[in-house]
Amino acid sequence: MTTPVITKMEVYPVAGKDCMELNLSGAHAPYFTRNVVVLYADNGEMGVGEVPGGKKITNALEECIPLVEGTKVAEYKSTLLKVKKHLDSKGEEDVRGNQTFDLRTGVHVDHCHRSALPGSVRKAPGCSRM
């Protein structure tokens, strides 16, 4: 059995209606945004991850597509390090922000890739659980 390879990464920014009862941080615009990432492997499996929305995170996820596609699922840690190195090389300050929501783009990009992989990671030869 060979280790699955990521053949395709898709990024979907989505929005929906929100209300005060759904927001832990207080009042804001009457909608929410999220980014959904779908990863496809050559063995037919796919994984889905989601993180907060916003153009900055969407752009960062889209920039990472060439770094993720073609990589082995078993080498996800190496892939995540390449993604981190790419984001760090841009020279932008990636700070938490003064609120309950974590604004660091890199944290969300990393989390989205990790959350899209677990189904394949558990089954792939040579993979340890995350």
Residue 29 inside a domain? The answer is yes
- What's the number of domains the chain is made of? 1
pTM here is: 0.75
pLDDT digits (tens, 9 = 90+) for 17-39: 876 665 555 556 677 788 899 99
73: domain CATH number? 3.30.390.10
Task: Give the pLDDT of residue 7.
Answer: 94
Task: Give the pLDDT of residue 101.
Answer: 47
Task: Give the pLDDT of residue 29.
Answer: 67
CA distances from 79 to 21, 29, 91 (A): 38, 35, 20
Can you spell out the DSSP letters for 54-106?
-HHHHHHHHHTHHHHTT-BGGGHHHHHHHHHHHHHHT-------SSSS---HH
Task: Give the pLDDT of residue 74.
Answer: 85
What percentage of the chain exceeds 70 in pLDDT?
Answer: 67
Residue 87 inside a domain? The answer is yes
Task: Give the pLDDT of residue 100.
Answer: 45
Residue 128 inside a domain? The answer is no
pLDDT digits (tens, 9 = 90+) for 67-122: 999 999 888 889 888 988 888 887 766 554 444 444 566 776 776 667 777 565 55
Task: Give the pLDDT of residue 84.
Answer: 84
Task: Give the pLDDT of residue 8.
Answer: 94
Residue 40 inside a domain? The answer is yes
